């Protein structure tokens, strides 16, 4: 179905550590059953003509730091076009520090491209990961929340050494308002309102009024009121009702 809709490739995600995904037997839980993971990959590769890739973690828990690497090796043998490795175990979630050593190990071993993932929050982090591990590319995940510019900024930094430009409060708020509109159009109310909250708090990081704004904005159910406060904030005016 994805191929028929025009997908350029299929990425099989065995890295997700969310409980509701594990409940269904998916995500990084598949690292506990590499035979089943391989069966899934074989079926996907057989079903489509477009490239298939695997995204996973280094292992399932602290005592298992190899199952993810074994899964990537199997993926290469089965015909995957590339693999992406997050340098944490499933049980770690996003805590602690990502271990880039397994990424380096696979990058120097596998005949297919290895993409590195984990703790890339700045363009300089991406450059350091590539230099340290020899990976073919970098996947940026959580850092995109509240920073939709990071992909283009990272590409410009890697290709041209261009530093990140300063973005004004007004620019950031304009993107926030566009993001809010897209979410509301796609998810409606109240779901879109709730989804926007988690992005909103990320956008506001670093501003002097951030904590005061967050305390008020995350409690508002009226998107027009959220919009009013953000517009005033973007214009440099103290938003009414915010101390």
Task: For 50-66, write each residue's pLDDT tens digit.
Answer: 999 999 999 998 777 78
105 shares its domain with 41: yes
Shared-domain flag, residues 180 and 156: no
173 and 156 in a common domain: no
- For residues 4-17, give the mean pLDDT: 94
User: Is the residue at 57 inside a domain?
Assistant: yes
Nearest to 184 by CA among 125, 134, 226: 226
Active site residue 80: no
Q: Rounded to two decimals, what is the model's pTM? A: 0.89
Q: Which residues share a beta bridge with 86?
A: 57, 117
Q: What is the pLDDT of residue 14?
A: 93
Domain coverage including residue 193: 169-234
- Over residues 89-139, the pLDDT tens digits come to 998 888 999 999 999 999 999 999 999 999 999 999 999 999 999 999 999
Last residue of a domain, one of 142, 160, 178: 160
Catalytic, out of 2, 14, 16, 72: 16
Which of 160, 188, 214 corresponds to the end of one domain?
A: 160
Do residue 41 and residue 152 come from a single domain? yes
Residues making up the chain, counted from first to last: 243
Same domain, residue pair 141 and 214: no
Predicted local distance difference test score (pLDDT) of residue 31: 94
| Exposed / middle / buried, residue 29 (Cβ in 10 Å: 0-12, 13-18, 19+) | buried
228 and 131 in one domain?
Answer: no
Residue 82 pLDDT grade (very low, low, confident, very high; cuts 50, 70, 90): very high
Domain-terminating residue out of 108, 131, 160: 160
Q: How much is the pLDDT for 242?
A: 66
Q: Is the pLDDT of residue 238 over 90?
A: no
Is there a single domain that holds both residue 59 and residue 145? yes
Report the number of distinct structural domains present in the chain. Answer: 2
43 and 154 in one domain?
A: yes
């Amino acid at each position: 179905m994805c191929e028929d809709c025009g997908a350029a490739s299929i990425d099989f995600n065995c890295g997700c550590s969310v409980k509701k995904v594990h409940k269904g037997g998916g995500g990084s839980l598949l690292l506990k059953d590499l035979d089943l993971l391989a069966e899934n990959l074989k079926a996907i590769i057989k079903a489509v003509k477009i490239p298939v890739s695997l995204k996973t973690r280094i292992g399932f828990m602290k005592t298992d730091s190899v199952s993810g690497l074994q899964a990537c090796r199997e993926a290469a043998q089965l015909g995957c076009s590339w693999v992406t490795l997050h340098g944490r175990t499933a049980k770690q979630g996003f805590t602690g520090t990502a271990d880039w050593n397994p990424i380096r190990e696979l990058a120097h071993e596998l005949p297919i491209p290895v993409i590195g993932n984990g703790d890339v929050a700045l363009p300089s982090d991406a450059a350091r990961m590539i230099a340290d591990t020899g990976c073919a590319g970098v996947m940026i995940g959580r850092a995109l929340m509240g920073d939709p510019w990071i992909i283009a900024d990272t590409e410009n930094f890697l290709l041209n050494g261009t530093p990140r430009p300063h973005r004004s409060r007004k620019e950031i708020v304009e993107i926030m308002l566009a993001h809010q509109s897209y979410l509301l159009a796609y998810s409606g109310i109240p779901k879109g309102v709730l989804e926007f909250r988690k992005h909103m708090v990320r956008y506001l990081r670093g501003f002097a009024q951030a904590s005061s704004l967050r305390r008020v904005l995350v409690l508002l159910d009226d998107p027009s009121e959220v919009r009013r406060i953000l517009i005033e904030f973007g214009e440099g005016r103290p938003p009414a009702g915010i101390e």
